[in-house]
Amino acid sequence: MEKDFDEVLARTARIATDWLSTLEQRPVGETATLDELRERLGGPLPAGPMPPVQVVQELAAATEPGLVAIPSGRYFGFVIGAGLPAAVAADWLTTVWDQNAGLYACGPAAAVVEEVAGEWLRELFGLPAGSSYAFVPGCQTAHLTCLAAARHHVLRQAGWNVEEGGLNGAPAVRIVASTRRHITIDRALRLLGFGTAGLTVVPADDAGRMDVAALRAVLAGPPQPTIVCAQAGEVNTGAFDDLDAIADACAPAGAWLHVDGAFGLWVLASPALRHLAAGAHRADSWAFDAHKWLNVPYDSGIAFCAHPEPHRAALSTTADYLVQGGDGSPRDAIDWTPGFSRRACGFPVYAALRSLGRQGVADLVDRCCALARRFADGLATVPGSQVVGEVVVNQVLFRFADDETTTRVLRAVVDSGEAWLSGTAVGGRRAIRLSVSNWRTSGEDIERTLAAFRAAAS
Ligand SMILES: *Cc1c(COP(=O)(O)O)cnc(C)c1O
């Protein structure tokens, strides 16, 4: 049995290191078309078995041209990090150990690692002592977790038990967010039964910061159960809502303040940048990702809640056959996450934090921001390019004379395989967005990408 694993895992490790060691040479984008990939991977359901080594080798060979080199230092799409070596290795072990981290009983070490990593993150971000947390698949699920806690809390204060009574006949809940909220907020609200119609939208400025005067005007209405969703790091511009001013507005209204800080909250780890999220600790809940700026492999999001009672009340579940609680009150993740059976996703987060330390996280965040700035400055050497707005953190928005040129140049750079970036719309015009979120990205990667843009633009 062990021999089976010896061979397949050794081969797999070689395939993995081959992939990592060729990242600098290979095209960043995929080279196969959809049809080619279907052709390479498809066929009828196999009738019989195939040895594991052959399965892995054939899988790796067939997928190769359809892989995007996301771990490459020149992948700048969305806000996607890579995997730190310690986090990738811990993620492999997570698979091999195969703990079911839903219950302490099915993975005591996994539960304690989550406890420790949760406390490290709380300390790193300066969130209130005693806050509860949940390791979840991503920021989307973190919103769902936090907003379920918020829903419980604001309705409980209005005398309604939403876990029992649902939303039929419940007091109306007012939910406020800005025009520039991330779409995952809307989906969390839909899943929680509020619908998107339950949302009061306030304006934001050009950079994407919530108009706090407009928020105050909304909250000035008659008292009502209220949830406010603010943002630390707008997905296009990286702009931060004024969290202190928003917390000031929420307090007299008794509103629950939730912060979407998918990537942006990581500035709290940087002494040089944490002023951008000043006031973050005054919120009631926070959702962010480890799979973005901390460079932990997917899936890795985290929900924090300043109030453990509503968090637990909203999520907790039990059945006679489960083994919950016990010596020294261990923590069962099923009481805090929307998942049930679940991967022990705390291991890679723990490994990333252990490998970087407080200083390493700050350096990673600072370095990405410095490289984004270097790219923005370097655009001066790219004919016809123009930076849009200001570089707040690790995102750069830029464009060319007209939408057609912007689209053409972006296409040419992506097709060259030198870098991968995506387009977006800003103020009704096309723009290119570059996000530096990868621990590997170097000054050389930035220069190579600028050279690719110079070649495409001339
Ligand atoms: C990426 C992102 C999300 C969604 O996070 P997932 O981890 O993909 O679920 C939410 N909000 C913001 C601001 C983001 O950048």
358 assigned to some structural domain: no
30 & 145 share domain: no
152 & 301 share domain: yes
Which are the contacts of 348, defined by CB distance < 8 A and separation ≥ 6? 83, 87, 88, 90, 91, 94, 290, 296, 297, 300
The Å distance, Cα 140 to ligand 1 centre, comes to 6
Q: Does residue 352's CB lie within 6 angstroms of at least one atom of ligand 1?
A: no
47 & 180 share domain: no
184 & 221 share domain: yes
Are the beta carbons of 210 and 231 closer than 8 angstroms? yes
Domain boundary pick from 306, 333, 352 = 352
Q: Does residue 208's CB lie within 6 angstroms of at least one atom of ligand 1?
A: no
104 assigned to some structural domain: yes
Q: Which of 231, 219, 227, 182 is nearest to 78 (CA)?
A: 182
Cα–Cα dist 276/130, whole Å:
24
326 & 252 share domain: yes
The Å distance, Cα 300 to ligand 1 centre, comes to 11
Domain boundary pick from 336, 352, 368 = 352
Cα–Cα dist 336/341, whole Å:
13
Residue given tokens 């993620």 in the structure block: 91
Cα–Cα dist 208/204, whole Å:
5
Probe target for ligand 1 pocket from 70, 140, 187, with the most ligand atoms within 8 Å of CB: 140
Concatenate the DSSP letters of all residues of 32-62 into one string.
S-HHHHHHHH-SSPPSS---HHHHHHHHHHH
pLDDT tens sequence across 184-235: 999 999 999 999 888 999 999 999 999 999 999 999 988 999 999 999 999 9
Cα–Cα dist 11/32, whole Å:
24
Backbone phi, psi, residue 397, to 5°: -110, 135
Q: Does residue 182's CB lie within 6 angstroms of at least one atom of ligand 1?
A: yes
274 assigned to some structural domain: yes
230 & 285 share domain: yes
Q: Pseudo-torsion of CA 444, 449, 454, 455, nearest 10°?
A: 110
Q: What share of the chain is helix, strand, coil (3-state, %, to 5)?
A: 50, 15, 40
127 & 58 share domain: no
pLDDT tens sequence across 390-416: 999 999 999 999 999 999 999 999 999
pLDDT tens sequence across 308-359: 999 999 999 877 766 666 556 789 999 999 999 999 999 999 999 999 999 9
Going by pLDDT thresholds of 50, 70 and 90, the confidence category of residue 421 is very high
CB atoms within 10 A of CB 16: 13
446 assigned to some structural domain: no
430 assigned to some structural domain: no
The Å distance, Cα 54 to ligand 1 centre, comes to 37
65 & 119 share domain: no
Q: Does residue 293's CB lie within 6 angstroms of at least one atom of ligand 1?
A: no
Are the beta carbons of 283 and 258 closer than 8 angstroms? yes
117 & 252 share domain: yes
Residue 3 confidence (pLDDT)? 77
140 & 31 share domain: no
Residue whose Cα lies nearest atom 4 of ligand 1: it is 139
103 assigned to some structural domain: yes
The Å distance, Cα 45 to ligand 1 centre, comes to 36
Q: Which numbered atom of ligand 1 lies nearest the CA of 140? A: 9
CATH number of the domain that residue 296 is part of: 3.40.640.10
Which range of residues forms the domain containing residue 132? 90-352
396 assigned to some structural domain: no
Residue whose Cα lies nearest atom 14 of ligand 1: it is 262
pLDDT tens sequence across 122-177: 999 999 999 999 999 999 999 999 999 999 999 999 999 999 999 999 999 999 99
Residue 349 confidence (pLDDT)? 98
Q: How many domains, the chain?
A: 2
Q: Does residue 180's CB lie within 6 angstroms of at least one atom of ligand 1?
A: no
277 assigned to some structural domain: yes
Q: Does residue 103's CB lie within 6 angstroms of at least one atom of ligand 1?
A: no
Q: Does residue 301's CB lie within 6 angstroms of at least one atom of ligand 1?
A: yes
Cα–Cα dist 79/82, whole Å:
10
The rounded percent of the chain whose pLDDT value lies above 70 is 98
pTM over 0.85: yes
Indicate the SS3 state at residue 283.
coil
**Measuring CA to CA, how many Å separate 81 from each of 23, 36, 431, 437, 457?**
15, 28, 21, 5, 27
Residue whose Cα lies nearest atom 2 of ligand 1: it is 262
Compute the mean pLDDT over every residue in the chain, rounded to the nearest whole number: 95
Going by pLDDT thresholds of 50, 70 and 90, the confidence category of residue 102 is very high
Q: What's at 386, amino acid-wise?
A: Q
Domain boundary pick from 352, 385, 414 = 352
The Å distance, Cα 289 to ligand 1 centre, comes to 7
Residue 328 confidence (pLDDT)? 62
111 & 196 share domain: yes
331: tokens are 């923590």
59 & 104 share domain: no
Q: Does residue 233's CB lie within 6 angstroms of at least one atom of ligand 1?
A: yes
Cα–Cα dist 361/138, whole Å:
19
